[in-house]
């Protein structure tokens, strides 16, 4: 049992559960709400910004519950790191996510965002304190 292992245990068995049970999801939604129209971000970027870079899956999981939130969450502006619309099947209709994006001026080709690199909105950069 080395010190690195102990750190990991603290992080993943104490800190993360606290965040998850308290307000990790709400933080995710709050970040997502800051994504401007016509821009997109990624699951990993949000996770990283919130200090748990390795739990991008949890951000995706949070998005799954985003639709039932009172306040609107622009879940369609969150895609994976390659700019692919991997979450489109969770929008009622598979084409809905693409339509929502196109309505904001984003072009989508083969479930992939055109010019993703320039449209990418990084919370770590934009939401600096």
Binding positions for DNA, rule: CB under 7 A: 8, 11-12, 16-17, 20, 42-45, 47, 54-61, 63-64, 66-67, 75-76, 78, 80-82, 86-87, 89-91
Q: Which is nearer to DNA, 26 or 67 (CB)?
A: 67
Contact (CB, 8 A) for 68 and 61: no
Contact (CB, 8 A) for 32 and 66: yes
State the nearest-atom distance from the C-beta of 105 to DNA, in Å. Answer: 19
Q: Which is nearer to DNA, 8 or 26 (CB)?
A: 8
State the nearest-atom distance from the C-beta of 107 to DNA, in Å. Answer: 19
Number of H helices, E strands in the chain: 8, 4
State the nearest-atom distance from the C-beta of 41 to DNA, in Å. Answer: 9
**Cα–Cα distances in Å, from 86 out to 92, 104, 118, 119, 127?**
14, 18, 19, 17, 25
Contact (CB, 8 A) for 124 and 114: no
Q: Which is nearer to DNA, 89 or 107 (CB)?
A: 89
State the nearest-atom distance from the C-beta of 79 to DNA, in Å. Answer: 8
């Amino acid at each position: 049992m080395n010190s690195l292992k102990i750190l990991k245990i603290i992080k993943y068995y104490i800190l993360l559960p606290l965040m998850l049970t308290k307000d990790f999801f709400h933080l995710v939604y709050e970040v997502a709400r800051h994504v401007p129209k016509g821009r997109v971000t990624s699951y990993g970027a949000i996770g990283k910004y919130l200090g748990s870079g390795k739990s991008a899956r949890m951000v995706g999981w949070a998005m799954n519950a985003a639709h039932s939130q009172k306040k609107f969450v622009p879940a369609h502006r969150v895609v994976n790191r390659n700019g692919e619309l991997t979450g489109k099947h969770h929008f009622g209709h598979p084409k809905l996510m693409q339509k929502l994006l196109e309505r904001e001026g984003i072009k989508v080709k083969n479930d992939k965002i055109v010019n993703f690199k320039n449209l990418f909105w990084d919370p770590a950069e934009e939401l600096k304190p």
